[in-house]
């Protein structure tokens, strides 16, 4: 029985997994094919070349993050619930730290990451505005703490407790 061909989505998912585990050097046809136990021909069936694959990987990651932001914005709950959901969303982005590292040496990655950071900051500013906090520095500190906690590879639960403490402080100072 022949093995079913891999979809482009399967390659992108594998790319995000391998980026997270091994860094951007794993985002080449041969290491990905080995990881997926298939041939490089399958890769080139779906993608013109490695840069095209990497561009699609970035586009899919960005779309996923932006979709999550929109989904979260439509959900009900208290201001605290919304802030915590935002933190969970950032913390659940397993590829985030690897993308930040990759962005240090790749301007295209840096540009996509900047777009995502801008969208996340806009969402956080909106959440803070809902509770009467209009100082952009609070949003910068809260988002910076999430990114930093993620870079520290803390357990998600511990990172969210630390972020929730910051949220509580912001709400108390309001």
At residue 143's C-alpha, the angle toward residues 73 and 19, to 5°, is 90
What is the number of structural domains in the chain?
A: 2
Q: Which domain CATH number covers 20?
A: 1.10.10
Q: Do 39 and 89 belong to one domain?
A: no
Q: Do 45 and 83 belong to one domain?
A: no
Give pLDDT tens digits for 18-30. Answer: 999 999 999 999 9
**Domain contains 130:** yes
Q: Do 36 and 106 belong to one domain?
A: no
Q: What percent of the chain has pLDDT over 90?
A: 70
Confidence band of 1 (pLDDT split at 50, 70, 90): very low
Q: Do 133 and 151 belong to one domain?
A: yes
Tell me the C-alpha distance between 120 and 129, whole Å: 14
Q: Do 39 and 78 belong to one domain?
A: no
Q: DSSP 3-state assignment of 132?
A: coil
Give pLDDT tens digits for 98-113. Answer: 999 999 999 999 999 9
**Domain contains 152:** yes
Q: Do 14 and 93 belong to one domain?
A: no
**Domain contains 110:** yes
Residues near 47 by beta carbon (within 8 Å), at least 6 away in sequence: 8, 11, 53, 56
Q: Do 135 and 65 belong to one domain?
A: yes
**Domain contains 3:** no
The structure's pTM equals: 0.89
Q: Do 44 and 95 belong to one domain?
A: no
**Which domain range does residue 45 map to?**
8-50
**Domain contains 1:** no
């Amino acid at each position: 029985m022949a093995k079913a061909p891999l979809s482009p989505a399967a390659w992108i998912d594998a790319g995000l997994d391998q980026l997270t585990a091994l860094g951007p050097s794993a985002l080449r046809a041969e290491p990905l094919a080995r990881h997926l136990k298939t041939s490089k021909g399958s890769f080139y069936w779906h993608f013109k070349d490695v840069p095209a694959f990497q561009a699609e990987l970035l586009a899919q990651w960005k779309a996923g993050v932006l979709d999550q932001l929109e989904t979260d914005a439509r959900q009900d709950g208290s201001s605290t619930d919304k802030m915590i959901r935002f933190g969970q969303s950032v913390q659940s982005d397993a590829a985030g730290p690897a993308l930040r590292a990759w962005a240090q040496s790749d301007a295209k990655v840096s540009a996509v990451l900047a777009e995502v950071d801008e969208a996340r900051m806009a969402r956080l500013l909106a959440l803070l505005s809902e509770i009467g906090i209009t100082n952009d520095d609070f949003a910068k500190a809260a988002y910076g703490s999430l990114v930093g906690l993620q870079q520290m590879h803390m357990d998600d639960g511990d990172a969210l407790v630390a972020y929730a403490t910051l949220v509580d402080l912001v709400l108390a100072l309001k």
